[in-house]
Structure 1
């Protein structure tokens, strides 16, 4: 017999790319969706991202596997005329500047090959043929040809439009509304909103609701935008990503500030250059010392950048965790609450895939992907007491 259960009303906290993707898949299935945000769509990490839909940059294991599936989903959404003109395939070039970094990208190639991902090792001569103008410090590289790019706020806007959902802006959540051990809604300054299922996709702001201050770690990243080197097309065939960026993925809990260089050629002919990794920092200010450090490294790697002007600097806050993995899944103690947060710097890549999984959970179905490694249960322990309406985890 066909399933006659009514579709739930789902309330999504957070109007970034994960929340928008969740709303899109729920709406497409016929569910009622309400999306709210403390500020506005893409006001958080989604709007301060580099747009990489990259397998090349991922940690071996579950993140690399999920990134491959996520990239395929982007291509499918283009084919379905949902993300037309918003997702583009382009290669990523990992580069090394010393023997240790050569070993890092060689190890990454082995892991990518193990996943069946196409790669091409490039010595300096071969790399220079593909990326003319590289500095003398660059020794070798690795090309990963099937990576892609999508601008986060554009994808978010498109998915919300396709879902026919207008988010409630400037609507912060004050607390979760509970009935026993079930979440039935949220309290906002404008009143209570009730729902059958609540999805928490609010990024760093999720710490307040989850009580995960010790495992959910803010990380600030400063980025730079230049003027145009070329008009109407990218000035490089793909982004240049340092081996130090890969190394930082392997040490997610490092309590230090550093620069992990990525030079990203935008389709406008501009460059997006980043970024710092400032663990534990919550302000969104840029500073001359950090910007100068990033630019000095960038010009060393790609000297033609010295001809460009800096037209903008900005910073975003990403949420990471003790083990470097996102928090995605049903809450282990509270029914009706699904978590999709702490996406690291991988939210643009994984956003549609995670949104699809969350939507299926909200509809009472199983995810099409194996996301067991991301379960909230690895951090959230039994509370051991009853919850009242004002309880906040």
Structure 2
């Protein structure tokens, strides 16, 4: 098949961009591209937010980030969420709330202290708390909680609601149940995508399809699926969230700071939902891409949750589910132009940080696609760090 080259087609005033994957990163990229005048089409193998974006806790949290570029980018992303609220983009979707870190061992107390020092270096407000001080702010905590820290300026936004809002505002064309089989190439340049319905031509293609990004971009050996099992309770209150903010185990921070490849673990987060329910999670099961929950993991999470917050004993479990987060070999997302295929851009491997980072990643990718100065420094996330990324697909 002879594929049309964009250079041989009529000149469009607006660049045509195809985004593969209608999760929160794809939606944010579509938002910024559309605002800049691009003609954007999103293709999703299922429906928007059907992957990790729809199975997340919604944390827009700097407190939980790995020190270094991830923590710095999270600060910038959270600022963007606030700007979106002021502009009416996320009004009613994003809201501010504190994060409470807690420690159950002296080792975890030290982890929180190190995290606090890293946060303060970025100018983040923190409030170290003794056991008694933490009990005053979060009544009902168990006696095994030794100490903690409040990070007052974090926030929350449910992934599927953010996706819905961004797609509405961007007015991008969204094609549901349209899997991308391969890239369309001409003279070693990406000029579109091939779907079961035929070839769609574009000036640029952005792949933001989670685990589905691997085969399209040559990242199969770099991307790592991690399953997270979560629990939803019935309502503890009818008047909003039962706690002022989520309770985040220092064990979660320790796992992120260590970033041991192939490691699986459970790291407790007790998240008070605005519905009055609790979301309890989560496992971090490396190499698993099924969406099944199991009794052993759910029981372990519930035992830990009850030890930290005994008041949960009054609640009933009404649902368990699992989401698949896509990580990478080095623990950092992959954001930038493909190292050997012009016209192709990648935004994947966010693992549990996509909800928080999506505004910054979407803005940066839009700048790259349009050839503008990139407003956020995501250079450390460039896919070129993994080499040439040869594709196995045919052209």
Q: TM-score range by the shorter chain?
A: over 0.9
Distance 1:95 1:29 in 2: 43
TM-score normalised by L of structure 1 = 0.96
Contact 1:119/1:144 (8 A) holds in 2: yes
| Equivalent residue in structure 2 for 1:107, among 91, 95, 114 | 114
1:373 has 2:380 as partner: yes
Distance 1:366 1:389 in 2: 32
Residue in 1 aligned with 2:303? 296
Q: Which stretch of structure 1 is more off in the superposition, 136-145 or 203-212?
A: 203-212
1:89 has 2:93 as partner: no
Contact 2:218/2:389 (8 A) holds in 1: no
CA distances 1:18-68 after superposition (whole Å, capped 9, x unpaired) = 111111111111110000100100000000100000000001110000000
Residue in 2 aligned with 1:241? 248
Residue in 2 aligned with 1:8? 15
1:1-393 equivalent positions in 2, closer than 5 A: 6-381=13-388, 383=390, 390-391=394-395
Contact 1:7/1:31 (8 A) holds in 2: yes
Distance 1:389 1:276, change over 3 A: closer
CA distances 1:283-316 after superposition (whole Å, capped 9, x unpaired) = 0111111111101100100000011011111101
CA distances 1:191-244 after superposition (whole Å, capped 9, x unpaired) = 111100000000111112122232211100000111110113110010000001
Q: Which stretch of structure 1 is more off in the superposition, 106-115 or 213-222?
A: 213-222
Structure 2 counterpart SS, 1:116: coil
Distance 2:241 2:45 in 1: 35
Distance 2:315 2:122 in 1: 38
Structure 1 counterpart SS, 2:226: strand
Superposition CA RMSD, Å: 1.5
CA distances 1:293-352 after superposition (whole Å, capped 9, x unpaired) = 101100100000011011111101111111110000011111111100000100000112
Q: Give the CA deviation at 1:254.
A: 3.5
Contact 2:270/2:281 (8 A) holds in 1: yes
Distance 1:382 1:170 in 2: 27
Q: How many residues align?
A: 385
Structure 1 counterpart SS, 2:258: coil
Distance 2:227 2:113 in 1: 28
Distance 1:388 1:375, change over 3 A: closer
Structure 2 counterpart SS, 1:63: helix
Structure 2: which 5+ residue stretches go unaligned? 1-10
Contact 1:252/1:322 (8 A) holds in 2: no
Structure 1: which 5+ residue stretches go unaligned? none
Contact 1:178/1:388 (8 A) holds in 2: no
Contact 2:99/2:246 (8 A) holds in 1: yes
Q: Give the CA deviation at 1:389.
A: 8.5
Structure 2 counterpart SS, 1:345: helix
Distance 1:382 1:284, change over 3 A: closer
